[in-house]
Structures are given as structure tokens and as C-alpha cells.
């Protein structure tokens, strides 16, 4: 199988990039072919991992659309550089001829309207950046927020309506119509997607794994603290998950918040594996 991934970065600097790198490495070992389209040109950035030479990587920073205001956004979409990059991306799809296209974190999705794809589109949802201005998708009473990003954000959470919100709503509507499968990195994100009118039959929960420890003996032996988990769940929820954990914790981007969690749950005996870049 040939798989074309799309992601914002190639440098393994957070949970999405770690998941993408490990998945690509495993797919290569199983005989599949992989290529990646990357929104940001980070080839000069320090990378703790080395991408295999057999994985073609294409950098398309021109596809990053400004979301500050409509005028700037529309001017960028009409620019020769953007239109040329769309043609370049079509060439990439034609040359790689993938069996499916899998989107992780990417700057935009609606450019697929300008492409001839003809294969299934998959999307992994890592956080609520495209669903919620506060990145929590939670109402004050603790329940899942089912309102689209927009007017209710101002009334309930005090977040002003913006052009970004308008674009996000259109991107989500496009995703519901065009994407074959949605992979959520947690059961809570799955519930949020379903509550926000993403088709339940097309939403699956992605089992976290790491090449550092692939054989797990119990369901709760390991907690993966991805860099997006801090914004995806409240502090109380993180502590609850941690208390149900066994003896090992994988810690992405350790910092003051992680140290606070470790102190809060009184976990001196836990073995902490730091996998930050």
C-alpha cells in the first residue's frame, strides 16, 4: 500500500510528529510505501530523528493561509505562488499515486477542492484547535460543548467571533463531507467529534503506541502525555488518568505542568521516560 501523509512539521517535536514518525517507520518495516507533504519548511531545524531515505518529503509552506482577515486570506489564495503550489501538490499526488491520503495537523483542508484525488481521505484529530477557541471544547458545567465555533463562543466563553472561526466552520463542514475516516487520539476527542455532528460510523479511536515499548501487558500500564494533551484535557482529568496508570509514564515535552502533576498524584515510584526533543 502507498500512503501519502500531510502534516505541519517533519521535526519530531511533539506528539503528532512522534506518532507520524513511528507509524511511518513501522509501515516501512511491513513493506508499505510512504511519502509526506509538510506545510512548514523545517529542514534546517534540529531533529532528534532521521527520516529514512526511502520516504519522500515534500515541503509546501506556500499552502499556509493567513487567517487574520478575509482580505489577506483571499489575496494569498489568488497569489501566483499559492496557485503554483496547488499545481505542485497535484503533481505530487500524481507521481506518488497513493492508495490513501492521511492528514494529521495541517494548515488547511479546503485546498482538496482544487485537486483531483480519487482516493480515500483520512484525518487524525490530535486536539481541538479546529473545534474550539479555548482548546477545551467543554462547557462551564463540565459537559461537552456541542456548539459550532462562532457566536456561542462569545456568549459562553467570552471568545470573540473572528475570521478564523468562519474558516474553521467551513473546514469542519468540508471534512464531514469529504473525509472517509476520522481517527481520534482519545475516547474523549471521539465523543467531542460525534457530539459536534461528525458521523459516528466514521470515527475511530487511535490506540497510542511507541516504538520504545510496543508490547503492553495491561491496558493502563502506560500514559502518553502528548504535547496537545495539556490543552485537550483539564488538569483534573489528567490527574484522574494518571492515578489509574500503572508504573510507567511517557512524558512529552516535560515542564512545570508535568512536574506539578507528578507532585499532585504523589508518584515517587513511577518510572518516567522523557521523550522530548
Q: What is the CATH number of the domain that holds 144?
A: 3.40.50.2000
The residue count of the chain comes to 277
Classify residue 213: in a domain, yes or no: no
Classify residue 186: in a domain, yes or no: yes
Co-location of 248 and 159 in the same domain: no
**pTM for this entry:** 0.74
Q: Which of 180, 205, 230 is the last residue of a domain?
A: 205
Co-location of 168 and 252 in the same domain: no
Cα separation, 145 vs 168, whole angstroms: 16
Co-location of 97 and 175 in the same domain: yes
What are the Cα distances from residue 129, in Å, to 43, 58, 136, 184, 235?
25, 24, 9, 13, 18
Beta bridge partners of 18: none
Co-location of 166 and 117 in the same domain: yes
Q: What is the pLDDT of residue 74?
A: 92
Q: What is the pLDDT of residue 50?
A: 86
Q: What is the pLDDT of residue 130?
A: 67
Q: What is the pLDDT of residue 167?
A: 83
Q: What is the pLDDT of residue 140?
A: 80
202 in Cβ contact with 182 (< 8 Å) = yes
Classify residue 137: in a domain, yes or no: yes
Q: What is the pLDDT of residue 246?
A: 47
Co-location of 55 and 144 in the same domain: yes
Low-confidence spans in the chain with pLDDT less than 70: 128-130, 135, 207-277
Classify residue 107: in a domain, yes or no: yes
218 in Cβ contact with 246 (< 8 Å) = yes
Co-location of 187 and 255 in the same domain: no
Which residues 6+ apart lie within 8 Å of 178 measured at CB?
A: 112, 121
- Number of structural domains, the chain? 2
Co-location of 28 and 125 in the same domain: yes
Q: What is the pLDDT of residue 213?
A: 40
Co-location of 111 and 244 in the same domain: no
CA 219 to chain centroid: 23
Classify residue 214: in a domain, yes or no: no
Mean pLDDT (the chain, rounded): 77
Co-location of 92 and 62 in the same domain: yes
Co-location of 13 and 136 in the same domain: yes
Give counts: helices (H), strands (E), the chain.
9, 10
Co-location of 163 and 239 in the same domain: no
Q: Which of 160, 175, 205 is the last residue of a domain?
A: 205
**Residue at grid coordinates 488547511:** 108
Note down the domain range covering 237: 222-274
Co-location of 179 and 107 in the same domain: yes
Amino acid at each position: 500500500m502507498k500512503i501519502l501523509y500531510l502534516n505541519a512539521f517533519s521535526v519530531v517535536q511533539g506528539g503528532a510528529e512522534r506518532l507520524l514518525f513511528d507509524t511511518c517507520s513501522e509501515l516501512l518495516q511491513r513493506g508499505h510505501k510512504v511519502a509526506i507533504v509538510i506545510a512548514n519548511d523545517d529542514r534546517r531545524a534540529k531533529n532528534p530523528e532521521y527520516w529514512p531515505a526511502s520516504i519522500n518529503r515534500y515541503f509546501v509552506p506556500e499552502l499556509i493561509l493567513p487567517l487574520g482577515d478575509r482580505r489577506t486570506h483571499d489575496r494569498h489564495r489568488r497569489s501566483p505562488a499559492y496557485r503554483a503550489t496547488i499545481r505542485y501538490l497535484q503533481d505530487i499526488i500524481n507521481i506518488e499515486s497513493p492508495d490513501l491520503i492521511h492528514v494529521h495537523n495541517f494548515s488547511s483542508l479546503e485546498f482538496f477542492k482544487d485537486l483531483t484525488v480519487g482516493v480515500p481521505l483520512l484525518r487524525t484529530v490530535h486536539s481541538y484547535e479546529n473545534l474550539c477557541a479555548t482548546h477545551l471544547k467543554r462547557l462551564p458545567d463540565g459537559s461537552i460543548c456541542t456548539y459550532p465555533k462562532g457566536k456561542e463562543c462569545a456568549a459562553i466563553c467570552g471568545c470573540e467571533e473572528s475570521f478564523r472561526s468562519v474558516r474553521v466552520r467551513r473546514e469542519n463542514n468540508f471534512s464531514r463531507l469529504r473525509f472517509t475516516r476520522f481517527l481520534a487520539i482519545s475516547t474523549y476527542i471521539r465523543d467531542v467529534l460525534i457530539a459536534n455532528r461528525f458521523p459516528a460510523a466514521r470515527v475511530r479511536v487511535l490506540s497510542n503506541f511507541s516504538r520504545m515499548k510496543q508490547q503492553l501487558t495491561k491496558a493502563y500500564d502506560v500514559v502518553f502525555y502528548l504535547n496537545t494533551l495539556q490543552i485537550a484535557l483539564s488538569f483534573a482529568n489528567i490527574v484522574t488518568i494518571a492515578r489509574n496508570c500503572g508504573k510507567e509514564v511517557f512524558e512529552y515535552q516535560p515542564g512545570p505542568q508535568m512536574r506539578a502533576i507528578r507532585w499532585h498524584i504523589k508518584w515517587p515510584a513511577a518510572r518516567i521516560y522523557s521523550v522530548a526533543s
